[in-house]
Amino acid sequence: MVMILGRIKPRFIKNVAKYIVANYFDLLKDIWDKAEEIRQLTGDPKLAGEFRFNSYKKVVNRLTNIRSKKVRNKVAGAIIRLMHQILILERITLEELRAKYYLKLPETVGTTESSESSAE
Q: In a 10 Å sphere around its CB, with 0-12 CB exposed, 13-18 middle and 19+ buried, how is residue 29 labelled?
A: middle
Residue 117, pLDDT score:
44
The domain segmentation of the chain, as residue ranges, is 11-102
Residue 4, pLDDT score:
58
Sign of the four-CA dihedral 16, 100, 81, 23: negative
- What pTM, to 2 d.p., does this model score? 0.77
Residue 7, pLDDT score:
67
Mean pLDDT per 10-residue run, the chain (120 residues)? 64 91 93 94 93 96 92 94 90 85 59 45
